[in-house]
Structure 1
Amino acid sequence: MQARREWRGSLELDVTVDRRRAEDPDSVRALAYPSLVGRPRAGDRVLLNLNALALGLGTGGYALVVAVPDNLPDDVDVPGHVVKARYTPLQAVVLAADEEASPLRSALAGAASLDGLPVVVADLHSALPAVLAGALATRPDLRVAYVMTDGGALPAWFSRTLDALRPLLAGTVTTGQSFGGDLESTNVHSGLLAARHGLRADLAIVTQGPGNLGTGTHWGFSGVAAGEAVNAAAALDGRPVAAPRISDADPRPRHHGVSHHSVTAFGRVALAPADLVMPSDLAPDLATAVRASLSALCPPHTLVEVPSLDLAPALAELPVKLSTMGRGLADDTAYFLSAAAAGRHAAAIA
């Protein structure tokens, strides 16, 4: 076993496999979360989970280290009592932002309102940097918080994108079963309140972590939580801004134009009104299709068209390589500009 690279909470490794089946690889690229499993050293034995590799998962193209038997992690020593990834072998004990032992307890104990905080809600984790770029290109002074839901990766540490964006963010709140953020919360509602009153955010972005789950059906995908996040923001007196998933590059018909994920999440799950943002400068044929799809969701939502082409330099200057489903900025420009437009609109109303 040899270490490759490291980022916040994660250690990438090259591991030689003690093959049990003929189809097992001789070696794999693996990922360890040292605070959960211990810190592997060169020559250590590690217990691996190879499921992601066996399934050929694009996002999760790692073997995962389950344990380092000869170098176990330290005992848990945090004042918190909240358990995430509950009742799994790797459950994590964290300090929730609103627990009694938290320094934010007094600020959050009575918090019940977001005070009009704009909340941009997107389906995929890949939208996060684009929304952020659009917001900061419009209002560089804004404190922007990321609220991560648990539909994808549970450890925030998995995301190299998030690690690279840390200097641009006021902080990250991990909600539900997800963990590893600057602040922890038990659900999206308390996570939004922690972003507003704990991180003093002027704007919040809500997406799932990396690793969207979908079955190709109308309802079988983790992004339905985007609609629930719209409802949470509205219930707390925030201002929801929906960032629909728009693409003219996705080869799958159900994701061409406005993705069926966005139509279901914002059209069926979101019961509260939101500003539904699309770029005003899409290619004509795409614009016509997108406008028709989104207009069908209004009311309760309000369709807002925002110029986006001038945001391309801000996207190109991000400290991360933009990628969605293996497509970069040049391959799926409409997707990233659409997310950036939502960030621009949210910044304008902040």
Structure 2
Amino acid sequence: MASLRVVMQWREGTVEEVRGRWPGAVEYAVRLAGSNGADDDLVRALAYTALVGEPQVGDRVLLNASALLRGLGTGGLAFVVAAPDRLPADPEASDGHIVKARYTPQQQMFMAVDEQDSPHHDVMTGPLAASGDLQGMPVVVADLHSALPAVLAGIRLDRPHARVVYLMTDGGALPLAFSRNVATLSEHGWLAGTVTVGQAYGGQHEAVTLHSGLLAARHVLGADIAVVIQGPGNVGTGTPWGYTGVAAGEALNAVGTLGGRGIAALRVSDADARDRHRGISHHSTTAYGRICLVAADLPLPVDPTEFGLLVADQAHRLVREAQGALRVREVDAEGLDAALRAVPVRLSTMGRGLDEDHAAFLYSAAAGRHAARLLES
């Protein structure tokens, strides 16, 4: 019988300082046990308050330090597993019975928007939701979480009052609270609501599947536009199929199945040194060209530069070879740069900011602008 391979590295420490907080999460400086007092023994540690409460300075905490010790990027910090001397009180009783992070030590039970005891069950079993009808709602799908603020910037440029709902899938971070961008964008009124689907959790609404999450966005939250992107922490292996962004193609299939208008935001870079991500990333060509089997729009900002012409050529080749019915849609780029510079969060993708990898954000913003203009048609 196979045994479970231990891959988690435990550490114990003491909270020394609160370094930041946002809804659902607190970041601490924690001194590891057995240290000699050097600054190198202070580590960044994140606590999800819904799981472990809110440790105080001086509290002993148990940490999962695996990602930190391996020097990972987005998830490269320690996570508070428990503050054993300050356990949180039991939450209020709930009728919800949908378990997420299932069969892990930190599994949790939620009221899902689509379950029988949900106050929205009548809507979810009503004629529109039950038949799977998004009523032609535009749905922007992207690969990287960093695309979210750029997509919203493009939407708001032309339709600042559109109700936009973000659906976080479970390819990256599972807790929505990990995303400071979502917290800030929600605080500024750029999002009308959030839905966490699959194993992801912590949204305004929980949904068992992306399909029911999309229907809840439309019929429970009244979305004009939905945006579907995995949480922070894209996983990739350098192989053609081994990356979590393949779910972007599957998301477009869900949108098409439900009668929505799918919009494929291209992952583009003019700064990434890796050939497979130069221009249109192989993540987009695989997800949209091989996995997406339905009709979807492929927005391209009008860009007469050499790089813009390269991407346009790649996009038209992608359309010719795609399994589904992709359609290139040219988008006026005027005003997009100014809109991106007005975003209330710091734009960053793979460690690069707006001016370091402008195209990455420009093409996402173009997808948002295209979605906004579909509301006028």
Note if contact 1:309-1:337 (Cα within 8 Å) is conserved in structure 2.
Answer: no
| Distance (whole Å) between structure 2 residues aligned to residue 164 and residue 330 of structure 1 | 21
Q: 1:297 aligns with which of 307, 318, 333?
A: 318
| Distance (whole Å) between structure 2 residues aligned to residue 220 and residue 305 of structure 1 | 31
Q: 1:72 aligns with which of 87, 91, 100?
A: 87
In structure 2, what is the equivalent of residue 203 of structure 1? 225
SS at match of 2:318: coil
Instruction: For residue 292 of structure 1, report the CA deviation from its aligned partner.
Output: 2.0
Unpaired stretches in structure 2, ≥5 consecutive residues: 1-14
Q: 1:308 aligns with which of 333, 339, 342?
A: 333
Q: 1:90 aligns with which of 90, 106, 118?
A: 106
Instruction: For residue 298 of structure 1, report the CA deviation from its aligned partner.
Output: 2.0
Note if contact 2:65-2:78 (Cα within 8 Å) is conserved in structure 1.
Answer: yes
| Distance (whole Å) between structure 2 residues aligned to residue 246 and residue 278 of structure 1 | 11
Note if contact 1:122-1:242 (Cα within 8 Å) is conserved in structure 2.
Answer: yes
In structure 2, what is the equivalent of residue 318 of structure 1? 343
Note if contact 1:19-1:25 (Cα within 8 Å) is conserved in structure 2.
Answer: no
In structure 2, what is the equivalent of residue 99 of structure 1? 115
In structure 2, what is the equivalent of residue 185 of structure 1? 207
| Distance (whole Å) between structure 2 residues aligned to residue 146 and residue 248 of structure 1 | 27
| Distance (whole Å) between structure 2 residues aligned to residue 17 and residue 272 of structure 1 | 52
Determine if the alignment matches structure 1 residue 108 to structure 2 residue 138.
no
| Distance (whole Å) between structure 1 residues aligned to residue 333 and residue 109 of structure 2 | 42
Amino acid at match of 2:86: N
For residues 136-285 of structure 1, what are the structure 2 equivalents within 5 Å?
A: 136-166=156-186, 167-281=189-303, 284-285=305-306
Identity of aligned residues (%): 57
Amino acid at match of 2:171: G
| Distance (whole Å) between structure 1 residues aligned to residue 43 and residue 29 of structure 2 | 6
Determine if the alignment matches structure 1 residue 331 to structure 2 residue 331.
no
For residues 18-57 of structure 1, what are the structure 2 equivalents within 5 Å?
A: 18-19=33-34, 26-57=41-72
Instruction: For residue 56 of structure 1, report the CA deviation from its aligned partner.
Output: 1.1
SS at match of 2:319: coil
Q: Map Cα deviations across residues 269-323 of structure 1 (whole Å, 9 max, x no partner).
A: 1011100111112x52212221222112325200111122421111111110000
Note if contact 2:114-2:208 (Cα within 8 Å) is conserved in structure 1.
Answer: no
| Distance (whole Å) between structure 1 residues aligned to residue 24 and residue 334 of structure 2 | 36
| Distance (whole Å) between structure 1 residues aligned to residue 31 and residue 311 of structure 2 | 49
Amino acid at match of 2:306: D
SS at match of 1:340: helix
Note if contact 1:17-1:25 (Cα within 8 Å) is conserved in structure 2.
Answer: no
Instruction: For residue 61 of structure 1, report the CA deviation from its aligned partner.
Output: 2.6
Q: Map Cα deviations across residues 148-195 of structure 1 (whole Å, 9 max, x no partner).
A: 100000000000011000021111100000000011101111110111
Q: CA RMSD in A?
A: 1.4
Note if contact 2:136-2:261 (Cα within 8 Å) is conserved in structure 1.
Answer: yes
| Distance (whole Å) between structure 2 residues aligned to residue 290 and residue 316 of structure 1 | 23
| Distance (whole Å) between structure 2 residues aligned to residue 19 and residue 252 of structure 1 | 41
| Distance (whole Å) between structure 2 residues aligned to residue 102 and residue 19 of structure 1 | 49
Q: Map Cα deviations across residues 88-134 of structure 1 (whole Å, 9 max, x no partner).
A: 11112111012222221111123121000000000000000000010
Instruction: For residue 345 of structure 1, report the CA deviation from its aligned partner.
Output: 0.4
Q: Map Cα deviations across residues 178-228 of structure 1 (whole Å, 9 max, x no partner).
A: 000011101111110111011100000010000000001110100000000
Note if contact 2:70-2:76 (Cα within 8 Å) is conserved in structure 1.
Answer: no
Q: 2:137 aligns with which of 97, 102, 117?
A: 117
Q: Map Cα deviations across residues 55-83 of structure 1 (whole Å, 9 max, x no partner).
A: 21111132100111111122243221111
Unpaired stretches in structure 1, ≥5 consecutive residues: none
Note if contact 1:308-1:338 (Cα within 8 Å) is conserved in structure 2.
Answer: no
SS at match of 2:353: coil
In structure 2, what is the equivalent of residue 81 of structure 1? 97
In structure 1, what is the equivalent of residue 5 of structure 2? none
Note if contact 2:101-2:199 (Cα within 8 Å) is conserved in structure 1.
Answer: yes
Which has the higher mean CA deviation after the structures are superposed, 101-110 or 333-342? 101-110
Amino acid at match of 2:374: I
